[in-house]
Amino acid sequence: MEMFLKLDFWFTVFRCATPVLFATMAAMIADRSGILNLGMEGAMAIASLSGVLASGFSGNLLVGGFVGLFCGTLFTMILAYFIMNMKANQVIAGIAMNLAASGGSIFALYSITGDKNTSNSIQSKAFPSVEIPVLKDIPVLGDILSGHNVLTYLAFILAIVLFIVLKKTKFGFKVRAVGESPEAAESVGIKVHRVRYQTMFLSGLLASFGGIYMSMGYINRWTAGMIAGRGYIALATNAMAAGNSLLGMFASLLYGFGSSIAIYLQNMNMDPYMVTMIPYLAIIVFYVLFSLYYRHKNKQHESL
């Protein structure tokens, strides 16, 4: 239990939560407009790779970040096009896009650089960590909350922004209206297609932030399979949060907590495979508990 007393343990919780929080928000905004965006895993992979490549070739961090966000968002917009205009089943279309992204990113890396699986020959840039003035001087709290990557702070700020946008703004109202009943929204003059394209755009952008954080913050290179299911985990954290991005923050931190435990337990010579199960187990257990709670709350009994 002594690991809980280590400040770095809690620091790690935030570090691990960041990409999942971005993806959770990505899932949430699409979900709220009535689209199940399964393509976040792929968008993150594409964004993380293109960010690394662009920052490596240009030598400029911001160019890398921008290209990463652009490619990941474009990827999501293609998915949106297939779902909305081509009327593809959203689950299957998402799967197809992820499949293409997971292999396509490895293929692209090899074709462009000659590297297989890891971008070792690219000198890519990373987003810096920042010390928060005042906060960093507070004992304990400063050690845990200060000194994180800029993108970590951005994620948590965006979670609050998203909460406000969905709850208080006209756009948020439109999104929710479209998600709850597209027909009704249409009848009051809301352009369902346009709103959904807008939310998919934002969803792609948020997922791409998660992607570039992985390869330009969390670590400073791209590795095949580095997204490691975080895009899927976000489906669970989003389901737990039920459209509330503050709850999404909590759910992401829960994942971060599980991951941090897994990392620390391994250093105590626990079996690595046993330990790796912890974050996934935590997500499943809490997701099931939350589902029970929501079901109880809604008293909606669906017999399958």
Q: Which is nearer to another protein, 98 or 245 (CB)?
A: 98
- Residue 200 binds to another protein (criterion: CB under 8 A): no
What is the token pair recorded at 195? 């709103």
Q: Which of 153, 201, 232, 250: binder of another protein (CB under 8 A)?
A: 232
Q: How far is the CB of 5 from another protein (least distance, A)?
A: 11
What is the token pair recorded at 106? 């490895």
Q: Which of 63, 70, 77, 104: binder of another protein (CB under 8 A)?
A: 104
- Residue 162 binds to another protein (criterion: CB under 8 A): no
> Which residue, 238, 110, 100, is CA-closest to 162?
238
Q: How far is the CB of 174 from another protein (least distance, A)?
A: 25
- For the chain, the first-to-last Cα distance in angstroms comes to 41
Q: Which is nearer to another protein, 195 or 214 (CB)?
A: 214
Q: Which of 4, 62, 107, 181: binder of another protein (CB under 8 A)?
A: 107
According to the 3-state scheme, what is the secondary structure of 213-268? HHHHHHCCCCECCCCCCHHHHHHHHHHHHCCCHHHHHHHHHHHHHHHHHHHHHHCC
Q: Which of 21, 52, 233, 247: binder of another protein (CB under 8 A)?
A: 233
Stretch that binds another protein, among 133-141, 173-181, 182-190, 213-221 (CB under 8 A): 213-221
- Residue 92 binds to another protein (criterion: CB under 8 A): yes
- Residue 277 binds to another protein (criterion: CB under 8 A): yes
Q: Could you say which residues in the range 243-262 bind another protein, by CB under 8 A?
A: 259
Q: Which is nearer to another protein, 160 or 225 (CB)?
A: 225
Q: How far is the CB of 55 from another protein (least distance, A)?
A: 13
Q: How far is the CB of 238 from another protein (least distance, A)?
A: 9
Rounded CA-CA distance 23/14 in Å is 14
Q: Could you say which residues in the range 281-300 bind another protein, by CB under 8 A?
A: 281, 283-284, 287-288, 291-292, 294-295
Rounded CA-CA distance 116/100 in Å is 17
> Which residue, 85, 14, 29, is CA-closest to 203?
29
Rounded CA-CA distance 236/292 in Å is 14
Sole residue written with tokens 């974050």: 279
> With contact defined as beta carbons under 8 Å apart, do 207 and 201 qualify?
no
Rounded CA-CA distance 228/44 in Å is 10
Q: Which of 236, 249, 251, 253: binder of another protein (CB under 8 A)?
A: 236
- Residue 118 binds to another protein (criterion: CB under 8 A): yes
- Residue 93 binds to another protein (criterion: CB under 8 A): yes
